[in-house]
Structure 1
């Protein structure tokens, strides 16, 4: 499918989303957007507020959830899945057992978006468990407060130059990149034993490679200074295969909120223009 139909598909889908996005006091709106060229299966734990913890998201589609303050969890994408009508099946990457709806963490390697919602929200994107898809977290509509309340994540496709010893290959192509800890299982790579603190656990050749490609994502366990972000009462847009610098939008109390602006709009034509502009110039990933 070429880009024009994808733009139309995304607009049509979002126009049909119930702005069930009108949040109660203290809640956070989570918008997930699939900019990849294929269907993905996002997973969330704990998932009670997120469709039971797992669902399909077709290329160009978006979905909105509301989570309460106090929620702490992780979001990731599963790829290459095949589920039957009862929600049983398997995935190439990120599987949480054989269920569509996840009740447990996914199998590495998987790119993780992690959140703790409180008076001050903490969030990050982690490559500590490896990489399977580009993931970006963009806060919008934040109140004053927080440190480095900005876009976090990894928008590079690390599969393209994953070291051979870390690569997960299926059907002749690399579908994910494992962590050095997962592959070599040593105290140094896993930041445990005598390496289990910030003073002794230092970047390695592999974590430096991840960090060079994705400076705002965790590359190893103690990679805190440049990788953890905080916002006060923000809404969050999680994009799969997106770009940290592109404009992304969500609804807040039935009004459109876009990154890079504090102004909202209920004008549908403004919404469509902003949505199209967020897609033009950003190529969808394989």
Structure 2
């Protein structure tokens, strides 16, 4: 799952203390020459470089959320890791509609998901949803996350190495198909490409995981939520990558959606990265297919192990390879930032 970036302001005290405590008179190669750097000057240099690396030349990232389902969904957005909330934390999206949100031009992390079968109580006005409900009682989630099961699109923007990290996670279960596609001017080979879960699993969900409303499958729980076992939750004695592996339940999700997280330590095939500097936005599509009925799906994908690692699109109309990368994402943003910031550093 995406790496959570600390808030820039939260690092400043540690940054200053580190360099003040470590600032001594440095003896250079020549024994007759000494050079002293004041703590304040050194701190300002580091601060300038840090600010440049996080902010210089990085425009805000645009999330374009599109509803391709045959029914209204209510997207929810939760900022995490000290990140600022976006302009909206929840809204209604009718079939065929799109809505854009701007993330700040700084490190940001959070998740997006769709709520379904939502309504407001006629007497109290309390708003709630059958799947993905955030419990706020209103359309805006206001800092609350999705109640499982829900398909999650997770992001860390301007993360380590000048990269965006993103994934689609079924660790908290599934409620509808999602596609996340980067809008990038860089390479889309390897780990900088689309990811998602594009098979509608609600009709295929095992009976002991299925969530129904009026007899219809509307979501599919994770085994962790359904049974609470440490084995399924990757907790307790199973709380490490070496002790918690895939199960028959997580494999159901993985077979259908090879690029999505199926359990907590499913990192190798499920985390994707693009260079922040060349990726101005992401398109998040709910029900990313012309076939968006809840009963649609791909039984072969869910029930038969894959013979190669592909992304399955609902309806079988499109297949995107997930083979070994033939190219890498653009060079590290940090090097570019250093070049751009060098004149500023020399002035300090």
Tell me the TM-score normalised to structure 2 length: 0.61
Map residues 90-101 of structure 1 onto 2, 5 A cutoff. Answer: 90-97=128-135, 98-101=137-140
Whether 2:168 is the aligned partner of 1:131: answer no
From the two aligned structures, give the one with the greater helix fraction. 2
Whether 2:59 is the aligned partner of 1:26: answer yes
Map residues 164-183 of structure 1 onto 2, 5 A cutoff. Answer: 164-183=207-226
Residues 147 and 231, structure 1, Cα contact 8 Å, conserved in 2: no
SS at match of 2:255: helix
Whether 2:228 is the aligned partner of 1:185: answer yes
Shift of 1:140: 1.2
Flag as ranges the 4+ runs of structure 1 deviating above 4 A. Answer: 84-87, 144-147
* Residues in 2 aligned to 1:87 and 1:155: alpha-carbon distance in whole angstroms: 34
* Residues in 2 aligned to 1:63 and 1:221: alpha-carbon distance in whole angstroms: 30
- What CA RMSD, in Å, does the superposition of the two structures yield over aligned residues? 2.1
| Cα separation, partners in 2 of 1:142 and 1:128, compared to 1, 3 Å | farther
Shift of 1:219: 0.2
Shift of 1:99: 2.1
SS at match of 2:88: helix
SS at match of 1:242: coil
1:158-200 CA distance string (max 9 Å, x none): 1111000000110110110000000110110000111111111
Question: Please, which runs of 5 or more residues in structure 2 have no aligned partner?
Answer: 1-56, 295-348
| Residue from 93, 106, 115 that aligns with 1:78 | 115
Residues 76 and 114, structure 2, Cα contact 8 Å, conserved in 1: yes
Question: Please, which runs of 5 or more residues in structure 1 have no aligned partner?
Answer: 1-23, 244-281
Partner of 2:274: 231
Shift of 1:83: 3.2
| Residue from 215, 221, 241 that aligns with 2:287 | 241
1:202-228 CA distance string (max 9 Å, x none): 100000010000001000000001000
Residues 165 and 274, structure 2, Cα contact 8 Å, conserved in 1: yes
Residues 238 and 244, structure 2, Cα contact 8 Å, conserved in 1: yes
* Residues in 2 aligned to 1:38 and 1:113: alpha-carbon distance in whole angstroms: 20
1:23-44 CA distance string (max 9 Å, x none): x843111101100000000000
Residues 142 and 231, structure 1, Cα contact 8 Å, conserved in 2: no
Map residues 259-270 of structure 1 onto 2, 5 A cutoff. Answer: none
Shift of 1:230: 0.2
Residues 63 and 102, structure 2, Cα contact 8 Å, conserved in 1: yes
